[in-house]
Amino acid sequence: MTRPISLFTGQWADLPLEEVASLASGWGYDGLELACWGDHLDVSRWDDAEYVAGRQELMARHGLKIVAISNHLTGQAVCDDPIDRRHQEILSPAVWGDGDPEGVRQRAAEAIKDTARMAAKLGVETVVGFTGSSIWKVLAMFPPVPADMIEDGYADFANRWNPIMDVFDAEGVRFALEVHPSEIAYDYWSAKRVMEIMADRPNFGLNWDPSHMVWQDIDPVGFLWDFADRIYHVHAKDTKRRLNGRNGRLGSHLAWADPRRGWDFISTGHGDVPWEDAFRMLNAIGYSGPVSVEWEDAGMDRLVGAPEALAFVRKSMFDAPDAAFDAAFSSK
């Protein structure tokens, strides 16, 4: 099973795609998971055949596959509440518009539909992304949260995403939700709930990114087994816990790389994700899709880290053998 190892371009969108492709290709990556921001991919031009062909040509020129396209930033606005200047910062002017929250949400939903259309045009199987959440803000459960407010949050998600998924179905494209704090699904049981809601929508699946699980003490390997048939994408991203009785789980509103944080993102392979167990589990459940390095480490230079992460993943990911070792004991 040879899974492509790709680089997610989201954290490189300050550079032109041409340059990112050149770097990734030079390091030996097999492909890219294209971010739909910066100049990397403009999903609003899905019906501009020349634009689409141009993107394909650029990638081909560098010998790279497009393993998936990712629209986390726009997806975030679909359900989020409140919508504020954090969103303005990450949305395209067209989606932000006048910034009226409900308008932003609806334009974001339309843009996600366009993402499906773009994926179809590019011949890409999977769109990766976020959903936002209207109930993430009530995480602390204080002020007391009426039970129906949680229910409303899940219903809001269903109402906003079902029409989106109709377009995905029509285009034959899958959506892979990244289980992530601030999204409708951010841990095991919230993912369980979301997948029950989406049980009848086989095109709705998950992007397994273990970096968000280890600091919550969720077992990312067991997660793969339990959601095996809906793992549609994999992010190779890592997290380091640094708990010492003063640093806590919630991060103290400190910036990335501040050593007082109780946890931090870290270059893939430097953290607490049990990678070898994870790759063996991916073999066990027969996952054959891309493994996409999402590189975030505010304490290391990305030009050092990205090729190192590729080497780490390549070494850690090996095939299962065909025959059992104890067959050799047989006297037959």
Pick from 4, 117, 31, 27: nearest CA to 71: 117
Residue 96, φ and ψ in degrees, nearest 5: -65, -45
Taking CA atoms, 231 is separated from 106, 120, 151, 226, 291, in Å, by 27, 20, 25, 10, 12
> Which residue, 229 or 325, is less far from a copy of itself as judged by CB?
325
- Cα angle 158, 162, 164 (rounded to 5 degrees) comes to 125
Residues in 139-168 at the binding interface with a copy of itself, rule: CB under 8 A: 139-147, 149-150, 153
- Binding flag, residue 325, a copy of itself (CB under 8 A): yes
CB of 18 to a copy of itself, least distance (A): 15
Report whether 96 contacts 61 (CB < 8 A).
no
- Binding flag, residue 85, a copy of itself (CB under 8 A): yes
Task: Return d(Cα 243, Cα 149) in angstroms, integer.
Answer: 33
- Binding flag, residue 1, a copy of itself (CB under 8 A): no
Report whether 133 contacts 153 (CB < 8 A).
yes
CB of 281 to a copy of itself, least distance (A): 5
- Binding flag, residue 280, a copy of itself (CB under 8 A): yes
- Binding flag, residue 217, a copy of itself (CB under 8 A): yes
- Binding flag, residue 10, a copy of itself (CB under 8 A): yes
Encode burial over 11-24: b for 16+ CB neighbours within 10 A, e otherwise. Answer: ebbeeebeebbbbb
Per-residue mark of binding to a copy of itself, 172-191 (x: CB under 8 A)? --------xxx---xxxxx-
Per-residue mark of binding to a copy of itself, 90-129 (x: CB under 8 A)? xxxx--x---------------------------------
- Stretch of 24-32, 51-59, 120-128, 210-218 lying at the interface with a copy of itself (CB under 8 A): 210-218
Residues in 228-257 at the binding interface with a copy of itself, rule: CB under 8 A: 240, 242-257
- Cα angle 100, 86, 128 (rounded to 5 degrees) comes to 95
